[in-house]
Amino acid sequence: MIKMENLYKSFDNLGVLKGVSLQVERGEILALIGGSGHGKTVILKQVAGLMRPDRGQITIDGKDVYSLRGNELEELRGHLGFLFQSGALFSSLTVFDNVAFPLREKTRLSEREIREKVLAVLEQVGMIGAEDKYPAQISGGMIKRTALARSLMRDPEIMLFDEPTTGLDPVIAHTILDLIQLIHKERKFTGMIVSHELSRVFQIVQKVAMLHDGVILFVGTPEEIMASRDPVVRQFITEALRLPPGTMKILYPEERLHQEG
């Protein structure tokens, strides 16, 4: 579904991506992990067509993202949802109008049809009753829920999540990740998620890729990365999960089996 080949990107002559190649299969969620400032968000923005690589190619469903123009590019973007780290809501619009925005801008649906779709998705993310509130009047978790609802409005086949739990307390953060997992089960989208909540993220993704020093150091299942003997991988996972030094373990295997069953 998503294929990245030999991506390079520099900022002010500082190389961030140094030949990244990675694939995400249709219907799976991939967790992109690695240290802060290593280029994970850059990769998401390149997949979304918001930032061009200096070199390399990205194809989505066999189509080269950067060779598309006009209606073809707009059609591709219509199949893609992006949940930004900040939520990126319009402060002057209500929750309802923020979620309705992509439908009003990009479709010819009537206001009655838009209202039906918006209320259905707001109910799905637990935001019914808050549709007339403004972003300044709701909590951080509600902002993320609203932004998630907006990203789903055009029924995307691909979802990109950039640190969806940043700034949230652990309970609310896990609630947002639970919601992403639930919606993935219902809609079967292909997804990429950048998050530091590895203990929960590893339970909802099918594949993990670790970005280190500008290249993909590891790709595999959550169980495989937890069993990795690579010293860089082991150090990162141990520190990220706050495990005792020198230890690695598979996270909640009973829960994963229960959820996948």
Q: What is the pLDDT of residues 196-255, one digit of tens each?
A: 889 899 999 999 999 999 999 999 999 999 999 999 999 999 888 876 555 555 454 444
In this prediction, residue 76 has a pLDDT band, given cuts at 50, 70 and 90, of confident
Alpha-carbon dihedral sign for residues 128, 131, 135, 137: negative
CA separation for the pair 133, 137 (Å, rounded): 6
Query: Domain 2-79+159-260 class?
Result: alpha beta
What is this structure's pTM? 0.86
Q: Where are the domains positioned within the chain?
A: 2-79+159-260, 86-155
Residue 36, pLDDT > 60, answer yes
The rounded mean pLDDT for the chain is 89
Residue/partner pairs of 142-145 with CB below 8 Å, 24 or more apart: 142/95, 143/87, 143/89, 144/83, 144/87, 144/168, 144/176, 145/176, 145/179
State both tokens at 6: 């030999």
Please tell me the predicted confidence (pLDDT) of residue 168.
Answer: 84
Give per-residue pLDDT as tens, 87-124. Answer: 889 999 999 999 999 999 988 999 999 999 999 999 98
CA separation for the pair 23, 21 (Å, rounded): 7
Radius of gyration of the chain, Cα coordinates, nearest whole angstrom: 19
Give per-residue pLDDT as tens, 135-150. Answer: 999 999 999 999 999 9
